[in-house]
Amino acid sequence: MISSSKTKPWAKAVLHTARGFEQTSLSILSGAIPAGLRGSLYRNGAARLERVGQRVGHWFDGDGAILGVHFTDVGATGVYRYIQSAEYQAEEKAGRFIYGGYGMNPPGAIWDRFKATKNAGNTSVLAFPDRLLALWEGGHPYALDLDTLETRGLDDLGGLPKSLPFSAHPKRDSKTGDAFNFGVSFGKEATLNVYRLDASGKLKQKGSVKLDGLPLIHDFVMAGQYLIFFIAPVRLSVLPLLLRLKSFSDSFEWKPELGTQILVFDRTSLTLVSQGETEPWYQWHFGNGFVNADGDVVVNTVRYDNFDTNQYLKEVATGKTHTSAKSTLWQVRLNPVAGNVIETHQLLDRFCEFPVVKPHDVGQPAPHTYLSLRRQGVDPAQDWFGAIARFDQTTGELMEADLGENLYPMEPIYAPDAENPNQGWIVTVVYDGTLDRSEVWVFDSDHLDDSPVCRLALPEVIPFGFHGTWKPA
């Protein structure tokens, strides 16, 4: 166990193994819950990174747990529960790690390592009218009860074969309710599978295309009638993985000579429109995309110069980081018919991540992008995100909420006001590294640099999570 006296304040949230809690009324620490904030915040993340003194190999390996915060006319309640996957239950019963993950092989002798990879269910969430899906890169999602977060079991989305994964960054059309997503399946070669789900969460359409090598694809972007994949020059070295000499994480190699490949799909037919290539970079996440008046696709992404970010995230799981992996906000403009990039330029020279837009702006022109930021003056190799911000796409203005020393917000989630269509709220979970506690903070989206309009206490520390969503009441 790592001594908390030698770790940075943010690291205590990562090192904490969550217990979870049943439906609990949340007390108000300051302000008041806005009258138009009605619905549920759901957040997913790695909540357990250790068993009997052994830590996981990468932050992405932690057992997934979902936080649900429900805002009603009588107040706010919270519930926090682990996803009861078959693998999680087996390891709970055994009291030790059994399975491997993205950054670790199964423990034990070499002949014990040839087990299936654990579905951690820890990356994101997707809410439908009758269920919440806990998403992960390499398998089917788990379905949970929207209110209690009780695990119902694996969800095949009404017909997705077991061999096809359903990834963690779906894009939803706010007008039709359709959700688009993908999954990369590996064999002798890799296949990119593209999906369309209807508003009830049932699979309605599937397309596929063979890929060059075995790449790592985490996210994609929807822009008008297009679905676009920027495939960074990261490729899997197969032999050490097959022999269980290395994990997935350690088997990925940075190959800048390959450049960044571009695949453009028509989202109606899910067929390939074009493909192209541009300069090398890496990205985990896209902010948004749209088609401009000239018919060009405009995409915002958080861009890294290389794949050092993977090493940094591996270090996060230990509570001690030393790798610097700067990420900044960029814009890319491309011709979707030809598949060629017209121009790229940096929008914001601040270390940022987790870009989001208003739900009804997904795939359309969005005036604002909301982000997590590093505070000014901190060492990015040793600190965590201490601010959130709103970037104005038209003026370039950055409206920043610097929470202050030892306060660490998670990804900012936009919640539309239930009564006023011109009003919105930013909801985030904040870890207080001084008091060692977690809270829910609510900001006015148009006055993000003001104090939060409401702060709610949570019953226990919530380890830093990855992604969340807002489901209106």
Confidence check: pLDDT of 3 > 50? no
Q: pLDDT value at position 1? A: 37
Q: pLDDT value at position 349? A: 96
Out of 79-93, 214-228, 240-254, 258-272, pick the least confident. 240-254
Span 411-429, average pLDDT: 97
343 vs 207: CA distance, rounded Å: 29
Q: pLDDT value at position 6? A: 65
State the pairing for strand pair 398-402/407-409: unpaired
110 vs 40: which has the higher pLDDT:
40
Gyration radius (Cα) of the chain, Å: 21
Confidence check: pLDDT of 435 > 90? yes
E-assigned strands of 224-367? Answer: 226-231, 234-236, 252-254, 260-266, 271-278, 286-291, 297-304, 327-335, 340-348, 352-356
Mean pLDDT score across all residues of the chain:
95
Percent of the chain with pLDDT over 70: 99
What are the chain's domains? 4-472 (2.130.10)
Confidence check: pLDDT of 325 > 50? yes
Q: pLDDT value at position 113? A: 77
Confidence check: pLDDT of 332 > 80? yes
CB atoms < 10 A from the CB of 346, how many?
10
Query: Which sign, positive or negative, has the C-alpha torsion 401, 405, 407, 410?
Result: positive
Continuous segment of H or E residues that includes residue 388: strand 387-392
370 vs 390: CA distance, rounded Å: 5
Confidence check: pLDDT of 103 > 70? yes
Out of 16-30, 344-358, 370-384, 389-403, pick the least confident. 370-384
Nearest CA to 58 among 122, 153, 146? 122
Are residues 259 and 276 in contact, defined by beta-carbon separation less than 8 angstroms? no
pLDDT tens digits for 248-300? 999 999 999 999 999 999 999 999 999 999 999 999 999 999 999 999 999 99
CB atoms < 10 A from the CB of 139, how many?
22
26 vs 455: CA distance, rounded Å: 10
220 vs 217: CA distance, rounded Å: 8
> Tokens standing for 366?
């969005």
> Tokens standing for 118?
């654990």
User: What pLDDT band is residue 108 in, cutting at 50, 70 and 90?
Assistant: confident
301 vs 284: CA distance, rounded Å: 8
Confidence check: pLDDT of 4 > 70? no
pLDDT tens digits for 129-170? 999 999 999 999 999 999 999 999 999 999 999 999 999 999
Percent of the chain with pLDDT over 90: 92
Are residues 382 and 408 in contact, defined by beta-carbon separation less than 8 angstroms? no
310 vs 307: CA distance, rounded Å: 6
49 vs 465: CA distance, rounded Å: 12
